[in-house]
Structure 1
Amino acid sequence: MNVATRTTKNSKKSAPPAPTSVPSNESVPSASPSLQTSPVNPNPSLDSPVNPNPSLDHPETVSPQQQRAYSHLFEGNSVATTPPPKNSAPLRVSPLNSPGSDSDSSSSSDNSSPVPVNMSSKSGESWTNNGPGKAPTVHSRFLKPQEYGSIKASFLRYLRKSKCTDSNSEDARDHFMACFQNEQTMMFFAAARDDLVKLSPQKFEEAMLEHLIGTTWVKTVRALILDARQDSFEDGAFSIMYETLLSYNNLLKGVGKEIDSSLFQSTLRAALNRDFETFLDAEGVDLSSSDLNAWVTLLKEKDSHFRRFRRPELARLARLEELEKKRISDSVRSSHKHL
């Protein structure tokens, strides 16, 4: 009886492994842990409870790659088989604190995940504008001149919101130095803080520019002004070029090395787009006027009209000319073939 009973039990135990006769598949081992830890079908609405191994019919649906990619779709069902939660909470992961976030997000995007991932657009930026009433946060060790100018403007708005009337006071300078989060800059400010807060406004500004932009910052900024070209600015707008160059010159002005009005105006004139300059000449604009403010105001108005009406027409004519040249070239090529 004992032998028969043991034989009967052994035959009952060996019955379930019958599906292992299916040809080997890499995804089968990954499915087995979940079957051992949770014999009950986690999704009875899709598979019958009678069959404990429904996934073996379609082993490719439980591959490790898909388990990672779709873990957010069956959080409660894949706890036993999902690796350490790399993607389980994408909304809580900051790209600034997670070096591997790029590789994680690529797998979910490849599978068209419907769950939105909070990817900060500021992860690679040198500084963060925290909005009105808040001081900016600076991440980089070195800054471009325009970045420093924007940071300073954002900080001055913060001082006005906080009712601080003296931007050169000791408290204001402490607040400004606290905006910088780069380790080397923080160490520099910690070591030189007592000396920096005692400097004159001009010397303090010069110390900031030398440390944050570089010791050759004056040469760099002057080159940005004198070598400017209107076409290199956004939409080729004269107003954007003027305001950008003015902000550069204000950096120089803060240390008493600004470009004078006459040279600044000559630089603006030399930087003009050729088509725009032709348009100004046709409009009878006197580009030699010595009144810089009136000259700039007039050119802003003319540039707005030029970019809105004249430039599209010039682009259309240039396109027609290009098509005509192509037609002639094709015609010549075709005639050569016939010869």
Structure 2
Amino acid sequence: MSIETRSRKKPAPAQTSISPNTNVSNVNTVSQSSQSTPATPERRPEHTETVSPQQQRAYSHLIDTEPGSTLPPSKSTPSRDSPLTSPGSESDSSSSSSDNSSPVPIKMSSKSVDSWTNNGPGKAPTVHSHFLKPQEYGSIKASFLRYLCKAKCADPNSEDARDHFMACFQNEQTMMFFAAARDDLVKLSSQKFEEAMLEHLIGTTWVKTVRALILDACQDSFEDGAFSIMYETLLSYNNLLKGVGKEIDASLFQSTLRAALNRDFETFLDSEGVDLSTSDLNAWVTLLKEKDSHFRRFRRPELARLARLEELEKKRVSDSTLLIASLGSVN
């Protein structure tokens, strides 16, 4: 062979060697498996909750049956059989994240939390509750009487006046009671009508309840401990009893007021020379109102300051005693 022939000969291309122990079928299987695997991770099955009949009954008073209370499902979101929404599931973009925390789609009622509403002068009150406290009933009657004066209704016991009074109540049970007994109620005497109202709105034991509120009164339990507020409140209670002929007489009423006095106020009255045993209730009440106004404005702050100083002195003595005891234990 000539030198020229040997120079034109090209070297053989390099080949990748495969070990004889390699399993070719396994390589192909792995390659096919990697090609069939999706790029995104597999979605976990969605967890849906169900509502038992017991839960539906428990929440039945919270479910709003009015049309339009819940939003229809979005077209992009598949409908579900369960009314519950799982915390991890996708929801409509128009729904807030707080909706997922509710066990059922609910709409809270907008009922008033107050037992009654004073609609202002010249307007009848609106009563929301069935059972009322004695002071609430007294306030409602006072508001209604002002309305009658504005409406120029001279007789509060007339049939029209009683119809207007019964129309003030919006509680379902009370409305049903008035609807059933209306014809009998408008024919009752003033005392019997008032007694029927008190029994239905306060309770059948209302007389015992009101008498206890009067006889067990304490001046410190009223706003700012004012004697005038206590007197006017107890007088309104006694007027409820008076409406049915069961009021507390003036002598017992005055004794009750005296027993309810604040002890510091009673001491102040004694220092002022006030005769608490006088039998003239009106004059006695007028004098105590004046003395109580002076007592709360001048004397009570001084008593509070002295009580504070006494408390600080007791604390100082206690701290000194503890310090002496600790020094003695060290020595």
Measured against the shorter chain, the TM-score band is: 0.5 to 0.7
Residue from 91, 95, 103 that aligns with 1:83: 95
Q: Distance in 1 between matches of 2:265 and 2:210?
A: 26
Residue of structure 1 in register with 2:246 after alignment: 257
Residue of structure 1 in register with 2:172 after alignment: 183
Residue of structure 2 in register with 1:156 after alignment: 145
The Cα offsets for residues 166-187 of structure 1, whole Å up to 9 and x where unpaired, read as 0000000000001011100000
Q: Distance in 1 between matches of 2:94 and 2:130?
A: 40
Q: Distance in 2 between matches of 1:98 and 1:323?
A: 55
Amino acid in structure 2 at the alignment position of 1:308: R
Pairing 1:244–2:256 present: no
1:98 CA displacement: 5.6
Pairing 1:290–2:279 present: yes
The Cα offsets for residues 127-183 of structure 1, whole Å up to 9 and x where unpaired, read as 000000110000111000000000000000000000000000000000000101110
Q: Secondary structure at the match of 2:211?
A: helix
Pairing 1:99–2:132 present: no
**Structure 2 unaligned residues grouped into runs of 5+:** 1-39, 41-75, 77-86, 100-105
Residue of structure 1 in register with 2:309 after alignment: 320
Q: Distance in 2 between matches of 1:98 and 1:299?
A: 53
Amino acid in structure 2 at the alignment position of 1:213: I
**Structure 1 unaligned residues grouped into runs of 5+:** 1-19, 21-35, 37-63, 65-79, 88-96, 102-121
1:335 CA displacement: 1.1
Q: Distance in 2 between matches of 1:311 and 1:187?
A: 52
Residue from 190, 207, 212 that aligns with 2:201: 212
Q: Distance in 2 between matches of 1:276 and 1:297?
A: 15
Amino acid in structure 1 at the alignment position of 2:132: L
The CA RMSD over aligned residues, in Å, is 2.4
Q: Distance in 2 between matches of 1:224 and 1:301?
A: 25
Residue of structure 2 in register with 1:90 after alignment: none
Pairing 1:198–2:187 present: yes
1:334 CA displacement: 1.1
Which structure's CA Rg is the greater one? 2
Amino acid in structure 2 at the alignment position of 1:222: R
Pairing 1:331–2:320 present: yes
Q: 1:305 to 1:196 in 2, by over 3 A?
A: same
Amino acid in structure 1 at the alignment position of 2:269: L
The Cα offsets for residues 179-222 of structure 1, whole Å up to 9 and x where unpaired, read as 01110000000000000000000000000000000000000000
Residue of structure 2 in register with 1:144 after alignment: 133
The Cα offsets for residues 205-263 of structure 1, whole Å up to 9 and x where unpaired, read as 00000000000000000000000000000000000000000000000000000000000
1:82 CA displacement: 3.5
Q: 1:98 to 1:297 in 2, by over 3 A?
A: farther
Residue of structure 2 in register with 1:59 after alignment: none
After superposing on structure 2, the runs of 4+ consecutive aligned residues of structure 1 that deviate more than 4 Å are none
Q: Distance in 2 between matches of 1:314 and 1:83?
A: 61
Amino acid in structure 1 at the alignment position of 2:283: A
1:314 CA displacement: 0.1
The Cα offsets for residues 35-84 of structure 1, whole Å up to 9 and x where unpaired, read as x9xxxxxxxxxxxxxxxxxxxxxxxxxxx9xxxxxxxxxxxxxxx94427
Q: Distance in 2 between matches of 1:81 and 1:309?
A: 65
1:313 CA displacement: 0.2
Count of aligned residue pairs for this structure pair? 236
1:338 CA displacement: 1.0
> How many percent of aligned residue pairs carry the same amino acid?
86
The Cα offsets for residues 96-134 of structure 1, whole Å up to 9 and x where unpaired, read as x96278xxxxxxxxxxxxxxxxxxxx9321000000011
Residue of structure 1 in register with 2:218 after alignment: 229
Written as runs of structure 1 = structure 2, the 5 A alignment for 1:27-42 is none
